[in-house]
A and B are shown apart, each in its own frame.
Chain A
Amino acid sequence: DAGITQSPRHKVTETGTPVTLRCHQTENHRYMYWYRQDPGHGLRLIHYSYGVKDTDKGEVSDGYSVSRSKTEDFLLTLESATSSQTSVYFCAISDVPSLNTEAFFGQGTRLTVV
């Protein structure tokens, strides 16, 4: 299994509080991604990173920020959590995308905003 660890695995938080999810990899892959998974929507890209301090927005980036200060860590922050951000969050990693590139996924973080 690819070395990807997400923490925490489960979290319940209150509306309006800040929340940070962490993704840690041991594979030295350049690209890291945050997706959210919701029923009826599949996986939607929030943000991704193509190198240390290099990030870009995805399809559903509003209300989220990210940081990557080291190759191995990619943080997702909800500045002020809302109930619409209740979801399962997945981190993924890959080499530089090409036609043969495979993405590897973490086990997910279930976040509940009450």
Chain B
Amino acid sequence: GNSVTQMEGPVTLSEEAFLTINCTYTATGYPSLFWYVQYPGEGLQLLLKATKADDKGSNKGFEATYRKETTSFHLEKGSVQVSDSAVYFCALYSGNTPLVFGKGTRLSVIA
């Protein structure tokens, strides 16, 4: 079946540090890949997505590249801010089944 594995948290970084959150997947067919973000006390919202191999999704300074050869979709940001503190979820969609999520990675950014 489809599954997503993302790095365990929590991740604590200083402001302006470089961020990488690893995500790998297992899927049948050719999935679409997503990163969702959950700010404290809120529901999830879409951060970025990529629908085919070598696509790069980007939003708010975050980027992720769909790597079919390594079945990965790692999230990166060059300089994090305190306001980026949140829980980040990698997810995939393949076929007509609902989204499958990873376990989430909590990021804390300190000033």
Enumerate chain A interface residues (CB-CB to B < 8 A): 4, 31, 33, 35, 40-45, 48, 58, 90, 92, 96-97, 99-108
Contact = CB atoms under 8 A, between A and B. Distances in A.
A110 B1 CA distance: 29
Nearest to B45: A105
A42 B98 contact: no
Nearest to A44: B101
B98 A101 contact: no
B99 interface: yes
Contacts of A92: 44, 99
Nearest to B93: A97
The 9 closest A-B pairs by CB, nearest first: A105-B43, A42-B103, A43-B101, A99-B32, A105-B44, A99-B51, A42-B104, A107-B43, A42-B101
Interface in B88-102: 89, 93, 96-102
User: What is the predominant secondary structure among interface residues of chain B facing chain A?
Assistant: loop
Max chain A C-beta neighbours (<10 A), residue from B51, B93, B96, B98? B98
B103 A41 contact: yes
Count chain A CB atoms within 10 A of each CB in B41, B102, B103 and give the residue with the most.
Answer: B103
A97 B104 contact: no
Interface of B: 32, 34, 41-46, 49, 51-52, 89, 93, 96-104
A87 B8 CA distance: 20
Contact of A102 (B43, B46, B101, B102): B46
Contacts of A31: 98
13 contacts: A33-B98, A33-B99, A40-B103, A42-B102, A96-B96, A97-B93, A97-B98, A99-B51, A99-B93, A100-B51, A102-B46, A105-B43, A108-B42
Given A42-B101, A103-B99, A108 B43 contact: yes
